[in-house]
Every structure is written in C-alpha cells, then in structure tokens.
Amino acid sequence: MAAALAFVEVIGVLSGVLGIVQFGMDNFAGEDDSVNSIIKIAVGLDGGGLTNAGGDLPDVRLFNEFGEFLGMSADPGTIDDGTTKEIKVRHEDDIGQQATYTLFSANDNAICIGMTTITWPDGSNWGWTAQWADPCKASWYFSNLRFKGASDDPIFMWIDGNGDQPHTGFQIHWASWAPETPPDQRAPDDRKGTSLTEEQLCFSGPPFELKTERDPRGIIVAPPKQHFAKRRGRTRRGNGGDNLVVNYSPARSVKRLCNSDTSAGPDFANFAEGLFCSMKDKDIYPFCDGVGTTIQCFDTEAEEVVLGGGVLPRANGRKYASVVTWEKPDS
C-alpha cells in the first residue's frame, strides 16, 4: 500500500502559467469528522498590517455532483486579517454524499480570500488557490501572507455583499481543480495536470463561477450554452482606504497590479521596479531620483506623487493613514 502523501495537489497558476501546486496538510481541517464537511479559509493582506482584508466569513452551501443541496452554514462569524479559520457544514440528509460543489456567498463586510480547502466526512481533501483571481477576472490584490503551496507572488480575491466590490460570491467544483492523474501515474512531461484550459477553468461555469447577484444561493452544474465566453469588466477601484503598501520583491509587479482591470486595494510602491501605482486612477509613476526624474514621479520619502505644479491630492488631503512594508532587505 502506497504511503499517504504529505501534501494535496491543486491546479494553480505559477508565474502566469497553469501548473500543479502542492498544498501542505496544515491547509486542511485538523481533525477527523464523520458528519461534517470542513471548509478552511485563509485571508490577507498580512497579519497585523492593513485592516481591510479580514471581515465577515461567507455563508457556505454544499451540493453533490448533481447539484442537490446537502447543507449550509449561515453567518459563520468573522475572521481577522492574515489568519485562517474553519467552517463546519453538517450534511442535512445523506452524510455519505460527497460535497463536490461549494457556494461561498459574501456577507456585508468585504473579505479578501487567499485560498480555501474542504475536507469531506470520508477524509478526502480538496483545495483552490486565489492565484486564479487575476486570470478569472475577479477583484484581487497582492498579499504578504504565506501558506504552504503559495507562489512567490500570492494574491487574494475580494468578495462583498454590500456593493463595495462587484462580486458577491463564487462557486467551486473541487474535482476540477485537482490533477486528473495521481503523481505516480502522471507522464513526466505533464506540468499542468489537467486537460482543461485556463478559459475552461475560469469561464465555463461549473469549475468556477463568480456571482454578482445579492446573496447568491444557486450553482451552475451544466455548462451554459455559450461555452468559455470570456467575461470582462472593471472592478471598483480603491478599497484600500488611505493606505500604502511598500514592497521590495520583484515578484509583485506594479505593472501587473496597475494594468489589471480587476485589481483593487491600497496604493502600491515597488522598490525592485522603482515604480508606484496610484490605485484610484490606475496610473503608474517612476520613483523620483532627485536628478533626472523630479516631476511626474513618486517621492518615496514624502510618500506622495510630485506633479509639475504640486503634488497629487489624496482623499481629504491627508497623509497615508497606514504604510505597510513587505520584504525589506536588512540594511
């Protein structure tokens, strides 16, 4: 009998390329439960940093492979920034059925999800990473929260029930995000683990579906008639309050964040690139160097954009209320 793996494989996005990531077992429920399915959710931005990513945990509804309702957890509580939390969902009828579909419905306080996993009553583990938020056109932002299986540029996905963000929830078909063959049966050149394309995973309905209606309660089981039609749209900008994130890692690119139609969150400065993104307007500015670049640039000491006739005004004319620094090298 083969030894149990110390990880669970999940289809993810690695540096923009579809591939296999390995979730450590600490990303799943820490106890056996023969009655409940246990959801685990991790949120950003970073522990003890900005304060907009934690919030109300979403309602969770479970369905079987035929789309039949199995059980739910309504208003399961709150979650702090940079933490994980478990949600137990009791199967109302047949506890032996597999909860292959899960619907997450946001409550009034926005939440930024980095990953979610499920452990079924039979002990099976499944997972999904919010690295898919960007290619799937969800509202997203970078994060400094690490979990086993995360890439070098982890991102989080916003959902909200009161209109601050465009998406009120999402559905996952867990098996669609698992490699189609186990590691010992996989071809050596199989780096993706799935025959599905990025378009099919994001926009065909059952694997992943973003919700925009108030308090979503239903899921898509059969693909819609128009398969894989790419959905576009712009996220409400901002949602970062009067805050700034200062980053030193080249993996979190200002250009990627600022050029995305669906990113949302605090202003972002990257010393590795020497660039700053004003998230309200999605404008990119180089850092001021005091020599050649002295206007239309971001002054890193004053923490403001210098224009030709002054500085770029911020909300209420105030300095940043919070500045969080990620991965600053030792001086």
CB crowding 160-196: b at 16 or more within 10 Å, else e: bbeebbbbbbbbbbbebbbbeeeeeeeeeebebbbeb
Q: What pLDDT, on the 0 to 100 scale, is given for residue 315?
A: 47
**pLDDT (tens digit, 9 = 90+) per residue, 175-193?**
999 998 877 787 777 778 8
Label residue 155 exposed, middle or buried (CB < 10 Å: 0-12, 13-18, 19+).
Answer: buried
Q: Hey, where are the domains in the chain?
A: 8-211, 239-326
Whole-angstrom Cα Rg for the chain: 21
- Within its chain, how far is the Cα of 67 from the centroid? 25
**H/E run at residue 200:** helix 198-203
| Cβ neighbours for 263, distance < 8 A, ≥ 6 positions apart | 134, 139, 140, 141, 235, 257, 279
Query: Which of 129, 168, 155, 146 minimizes the C-alpha distance to 263?
Result: 155
CB-based contact 80:32 (threshold 8 Å): no
Query: Among 3-7, 53-57, 197-201, 233-237, where is mean pLDDT lowest?
Result: 233-237
The pLDDT-based confidence of 286 (bands split at 50, 70, 90) is very high
Q: What is the largest CA-CA distance in the chain?
A: 73
**pLDDT (tens digit, 9 = 90+) per residue, 100-140?**
999 999 998 889 999 999 999 999 999 999 999 999 999 99
CB-based contact 245:326 (threshold 8 Å): yes
CA pair distance 282, 235, nearest whole angstrom: 11
**pLDDT (tens digit, 9 = 90+) per residue, 13-35?**
876 788 888 888 888 987 778 88
